[in-house]
Amino acid sequence: MPELPDITVYLERLRTHIQGHTLRRIVLLNPFLLRTASPPIASAEGRKVVGLRRIGKRIVLALEGELFLVLHLMIAGRLRWLAERAKPPGRISLALLEFDSGTLVVTEAGSKRRASLHLVAGEDTLAAMDPGGLDALRASLAEFTRRLQAENHTAKRALTDPHLFSGIGNAYSDEILHRARLSPLALTGQMKADEIEQLYGATREVLAEWTERLDAQAGPGFPAKVTAFHDEMAVHGRHGKPCPVCAAPVQRIVYAENETNYCARCQTGGRILADRALSRLLKKTFPRSLDE
């Protein structure tokens, strides 16, 4: 799922391509993308884009007359900018937003249609869509600490909770915790002040570094490959590969459709964290440490 660094780069490209331009027409190629009926989607046509912003992992196009198009790309949704007279990609195209400057295409790979588009009227209605997560790049250490310890969760869960922190998902939470040298299962209510400061610094560093990196990789155009997996990442998506810091094999915890990746040597003192499925299957033979 596109997270804060990806969304930030998308917003920068959108500002270049559509800020101040008129949305001439919206073509819905898949009716399931649109999740609102009032105001009608046609009422957005003919209005200029007066602003762009991010709400969590959502992209907001502010139009004249306090109308807002709110796009959530979810896991497989992506944005493409079409050159003049270029055809949109086949089955994966969900919608065309035709501006006087060109056409923005919303795509989604796979068969599950999770991406969503809302059209809402008024700042109050838009504010109701905000889960309230804190923007770590703008927060002070004190604000970060209060939010982190508002509830006693694991560090992984706290970072990825949209009600606590804004725009951080599975991929960058792994990278943040590795940078902070903290276990993904560390309880936030039991963290010491120095550990919270480490996590605060790591969060800001990782998000800022990856935003710069993705921006540079995209060049002047829209990002061509938005993915949660990058070769330059330290642990996320690198199960079994060597940690770039200590060379120990990266470990994982699998749950539902996600997995947590971590380095046992850097983050858990050499201890292998129990995987719900694998540890139950292997029982006593499940390794408890890197030595095992």
Residue 280: per-residue pLDDT: 47
Q: Which residues contact 255 (CB under 8 A, 6 or more apart)?
A: 276
Assigned domain for 134 exists: no
Whether residue 206 is predicted with pLDDT greater than 50 in this model: the reply is yes
Q: What is the CATH number of the domain that holds 158?
A: 1.10.8.50
In a domain, residue 108? The reply is: yes
- In this prediction, residue 175 carries a pLDDT of 98
How many structural domains are present in the chain?
Answer: 2
Domain end: 84, 99, 127, which one? 127
Which residue has tokens 């590795």? 178
Same domain, yes or no: 155 and 32: no
Q: What is the CA radius of gyration of the chain?
A: 21
- Residue 195: domain span: 141-285
Instruction: Give the model confidence (pLDDT) of 23-46 as tens digits.
Output: 999 999 999 999 999 999 999 999
Calpha distance 35→184 (Å, rounded): 35
CATH of the domain at 23: 3.20.190.10
Q: How many CB atoms are closer than 10 A to CB 291?
A: 7
CB-based contact 118:69 (threshold 8 Å):
yes
The chain-wide mean pLDDT, for the chain, equals 93
Q: At what angle do helices 170-180 and 193-218 cross, to 10 degrees?
A: 130
pLDDT tens-place string over residues 226-280 = 999 999 999 999 999 999 999 999 999 987 678 899 999 999 999 998 765 544 4
Nearest to 57 by CA among 171, 167, 211: 167
Domain end among 101, 127, 153: 127
Has residue 132 been placed in a domain? no
pLDDT at 112: 83
Same domain, 180 and 121: no
Closest CA to 275 of 292, 288, 291: 288
Q: What is the pTM of this model?
A: 0.93
Are 58 and 88 in contact by the 8 Å Cβ rule? The answer is no
Q: Is the peptide bond before 39 cis (omega within 30 degrees of 0)?
A: yes
Neighbours of 34 (CB within 10 A): 16
Q: Do 148 and 121 have their domain in common?
A: no
Domain co-membership, 183 together with 248? yes
In a domain? residue 135: no
CB 189 within 8 A of CB 149: yes
Q: Over the stretch 117-163, which tens digit does the pLDDT of each residue have?
A: 999 999 999 999 999 999 999 999 999 999 999 999 999 999 999 99
DSSP label of 190: G
**Residue 269 lies inside a defined structural domain of this protein:** yes
pLDDT at 289: 57
Same domain, 182 and 116: no
Largest CA distance in the chain: 66
